[in-house]
A and B are shown apart, each in its own frame.
Chain A
């Protein structure tokens, strides 16, 4: 077990494993372990109603497990796929000689990360997955708040295509939501 840990924050959804290979490479290079912090995605009201209605239908049909999964908002696309991906991430990490520990978080993204960091001094840096970096839920103000209070470097990951689109939009004069830069 290494003394330092890297916190990889991502959403508990189908994109859960996006960016993990980078986190594993980085952790391996730095002889660190990984804490995978899974944030539950907030559902839109319409999605919540749909999920609950479907859940009720499954419950009435005696499919309690599926009903519970729908109510919890898990595995919307393919039941069990998230757990499978988590297992794959643990195996990939272990093959690279990096220990991966999974933590779940129910609270708001920023305050959740801050609370987690407060109690875990061994966390050396925070890596936000592409899904989190590009999420509408992470505003520039949020990121500023996190950077100020975290006392650790925050690593953001943006897909090159998304970045190019944003830059093109910015050149046309549209306001950019967030483009991180070194020495922020």
Chain B
């Protein structure tokens, strides 16, 4: 985000000079030689910093400062005073200016002061984001009536004193990120930051910058040094969702953080030491990704000190009713409807459905049913038509692989290792080329 500066000085040459100098530093600087015009600009736009001369036509610097503190208290103000008018400078500081400079001023000194204010603003933004995040996510609760989910919660309870990394697996929508938050907020790190990032939503470069931060000038647009999530989550927990989507380069960098507790910002030369607990999650078959060379085995074992597999909703049907009631109560206030209950017939339809989208899909179905329902109870009529017209079943991948599948997986890996040269792969495997062909052809 560009740092926006407004310069107000009655000497047009000074304004022009400052605008040019501060713009060269990567700021977005604009100027005016009139106090009233400066006020209009502040009324119409948001500025991070105002540099104002005390003497100006229209409105003096002190009057402008007063109005800025009313209109935009977030804007920092630096007052420029004439030589010998220290009294006015003290007055300005009392009214909320953060700095003052006396004319004639040294440009380098002013730039240094602006840079410090810009850095402070950056830190304030990050701190605010962190506080907001913590404030938002501390209220964690989970509905878990079924035996498998109660067992998972017991496991989490049992490891609350542990600092180990945890790996959640499970289909999309089962509640992996919710459980990650529960792990954090029941752990000894609960008063420390909990940050989360979805590794599938960003490009490799952006994810690197988000995770590890960057130094100023590391790439085009890196106008200031930025802390990454690994650095901000220091002494806390970082949740890496959809970890299997992470690019190999980043996997190596992440492994170094986990193993050695240190990393470099993008473009940085100074190692940064951190103490972060990692919780990772995926809906993919990571072992298969490892066998295909898409995911580092060493990283997997570092993250997977404890693996918790969250079963899909269709395998814990006892959770469907309490979850449906919970979502009814959650979405009812937005609807202005007086629905009191979910009819047993509707509950039966829900129980017989296989929920390929898991808890997230159930929430959506209930939210939609509230919108459609005209009576005081949710009836089957307000459930999606397709649930009644079709028998929808979800068949999940088996957890145990056949010997043939393992043979094939291994053979594919060896062939890949030899750069698709099947003769060399067959020789290394100690079988004929024909046998290798048969294994690879196996379905």
**Can you report 22 A-B residue pairs in the complex whose CB atoms are below 8 A from each other?**
A3-B200, A3-B242, A25-B386, A26-B356, A28-B364, A29-B363, A29-B364, A121-B294, A122-B200, A143-B395, A148-B398, A148-B402, A151-B285, A155-B395, A156-B394, A159-B389, A181-B393, A182-B394, A182-B395, A183-B314, A183-B315, A183-B396
Alpha-carbon distance between A181 and B242 when the two chains are bound, in angstroms: 28
- Cβ contacts under 8 Å, A152 to chain B: 397
B373 at the interface (CB under 8 A from A): no
- A135-157 contacts to B, CB under 8 A, are 143, 145, 147-157
Report which B residues bind A (CB closer than 8 A): 171-173, 198, 200-201, 242, 245, 283-285, 288, 294, 312, 314-315, 354, 356-357, 360-361, 363-365, 384-386, 388-398, 401-402, 405, 443
The distance from the CB of B159 to the nearest CB of chain A, in whole angstroms, is 27
Asked whether A151 and B390 contact (CB < 8 A) given A30-B172, A30-B360, the answer is no
Check: A21 CB closer than 8 A to any chain B CB.
Answer: yes
How far does the alpha carbon of A21 sit from the alpha carbon of B390 in the complex, in Å? 12
Query: B365 to A29, Cβ gap below 8 A?
Result: yes
In the assembled complex, A36 has its CB within 8 A of some CB on chain B:
no
> How many angstroms from the CA of A21 to the CA of B171 in the assembled complex?
22
Determine the main DSSP class of A at the interface with B: mixed
CB distance B356 to A125 under 8 Å?
A: yes
Contact across chains for A154 and B394 when beta carbons are under 8 A apart = yes
Interface residues on A, range: 35 or more
Q: Are the C-beta atoms of B392 and A156 separated by less than 8 Å?
A: yes
Q: Identify the closest chain B residue to A125 (Cβ).
A: B356
Closest to B353 in A: A182
Q: Chain A nearest CB: distance from B351 CB in Å?
A: 11
Q: Which residue of A lies closest to B201 (CB)?
A: A3
Find out whether the CB atom of B284 lies under 8 angstroms from the CB atom of A160: no
In chain A, positions 1-29 with a C-beta closer than 8 Å to chain B are 3-4, 19, 21-22, 25-26, 28-29
Query: Residue A127 at the B interface, CB < 8 A?
Result: yes
Which listed residue, A30, A110, A143, A147, touches B396 by the CB 8 Å rule? A147
